[in-house]
Amino acid sequence: MSFVEKFEERKQKLKNHILTLSDLEPSDFTLLLDRAAELKARHKKGIMDRTLIGKSLGLIFNKPSTRTRISFEAAAIQLGATPIFISAADTQMSRNEPVADTARVLSRYLDGIAFRTFSQELIEDFAAASDIPIINALTDKFHPCQVLSDLLTVVEHKGGYEGLKIAWIGDGNNMAHSWINAAAALGFTLTLACPKGYHPDREVLAKAREKNSAISVTTDPMRAARDADVINTDVWASMGQEDEQAQRREAFQAYQVNALLMGVARKDAIVMHCLPAHRGEEITADVLEGPRSVVWDQAENKLHMHKTILDVLLKGNP
């Protein structure tokens, strides 16, 4: 069976929405990672895949964005679809139109929506009323597309994720939750080092550990980083937490990814950061810009993974 035939067979099994990585089976991860690698290789050769000509993608954003917005727009354009940016403040949702009403109407105009918002409940309610695929482009609780593209980066640099130890250093935030969900599905070791009071959501963690007991949380960043294959971090204060900046800076002082911490990781460990980065806070400039950093490949891979997600969910033809 050819790759195209396998892809056609497997993509029919993928669920209509990607709201959280707990929605996906291991075979879904394999499908998305395989297709992303294929699309990236073709892109590098100058081959244009125009599988979504005539399709339209709505981008409803009520949080600022650089990489997520531009990569989704570029992904749609490269595949032949038309992206339509929609500021949530400019919609009737800002005037208390029921979410379900907006979702039902936009389902008749568009072929898919990437939604970046605060509330996970909001995006789930929107998806429940939609007849088209809804993609979580970030909520306060989860960031599934980012971690999918990060997994692509891990596969490229480490040859796969099986048997790896991945360390998360910092806040138990939406990125941490999506890494937890990925580890639950894929079985790799994940150790999260978070200050007391900033641990991941208990329910997210408990459900994941039912599937993979190699997911753990510690308050010791050196323990998390020791013998790790991948060191991953994020800003100490995310969007909407600006008023906590000083408090968080004090709480997270020991959670900086620096040369000392990298010294206990494996010699070939890679460093990841989903950006934007605050050099001198969660990560030092020498580590971010150093030879073990893969953050620029990581940022680029958002384009290729987003192309894959659109290609699969909007029913493109490979």
66 found inside a domain? yes
CB crowding 130-160: b at 16 or more within 10 Å, else e: bebbbbbbbbbbbbbbbbbbbbbbbbbbbee
Examine the domain organization and report whether 289 and 305 are in the same domain. Answer: no
Examine the domain organization and report whether 165 and 230 are in the same domain. Answer: yes
Examine the domain organization and report whether 164 and 281 are in the same domain. Answer: yes
Examine the domain organization and report whether 192 and 275 are in the same domain. Answer: yes
96 found inside a domain? yes
When pLDDT is cut at 50, 70 and 90, the band that residue 90 belongs to is confident
Percent of the chain exceeding pLDDT 70 equals 94
Encoded tokens for 213: 């007991």
On average, the pLDDT of the chain sits at 93
Examine the domain organization and report whether 115 and 187 are in the same domain. Answer: no
CA distance 202 to 180: 11
Examine the domain organization and report whether 38 and 18 are in the same domain. Answer: yes
Domain that includes residue 122, residue range: 3-142+300-313
279 found inside a domain? yes
pLDDT at 226 over 50: yes
Angle CA(244)–CA(147)–CA(120) in degrees, nearest 5?
A: 55
101 found inside a domain? yes
pLDDT at 316 over 80: no
246 found inside a domain? yes
Examine the domain organization and report whether 184 and 113 are in the same domain. Answer: no
pLDDT (tens digit per residue) in 232-261: 999 998 766 777 888 999 999 999 999 999
Total structural domains within the chain: 2
Examine the domain organization and report whether 16 and 106 are in the same domain. Answer: yes
CA distance 287 to 290: 5
318 found inside a domain? no
Examine the domain organization and report whether 156 and 258 are in the same domain. Answer: yes
User: So what's the pLDDT on residue 93?
Assistant: 76
Listed as own residue / partner, the contacts of 210-213 with beta carbons closer than 8 Å and 24 or more positions apart are: 210/184, 211/184, 211/185, 212/183, 212/184, 212/187
CA distance 9 to 312: 11
pLDDT (tens digit per residue) in 4-56: 566 666 666 566 899 999 999 999 999 999 999 999 999 999 999 999 999 99
Examine the domain organization and report whether 33 and 92 are in the same domain. Answer: yes
Examine the domain organization and report whether 171 and 88 are in the same domain. Answer: no
158 found inside a domain? yes
Order of all β-strands in the sheet with 189-193 = 215-218, 189-193, 165-169, 230-233, 270-273
Examine the domain organization and report whether 133 and 45 are in the same domain. Answer: yes
Here the CATH number for the domain that contains residue 157 is 3.40.50.1370
User: So what's the pLDDT on residue 245?
Assistant: 83
**Mean of the pLDDT values across residues 162-167?**
98
User: So what's the pLDDT on residue 14?
Assistant: 67
**What's the whole-model pTM score?**
0.94
DSSP string spanning 154-182? HHHHHS-STT-EEEEES--SHHHHHHHHH
pLDDT (tens digit per residue) in 254-308: 999 999 999 999 999 999 999 999 999 999 999 999 999 999 999 999 999 999 9
309 found inside a domain? yes
Q: Is the dihedral of CA 266, 267, 270, 271 positive or negative?
A: positive
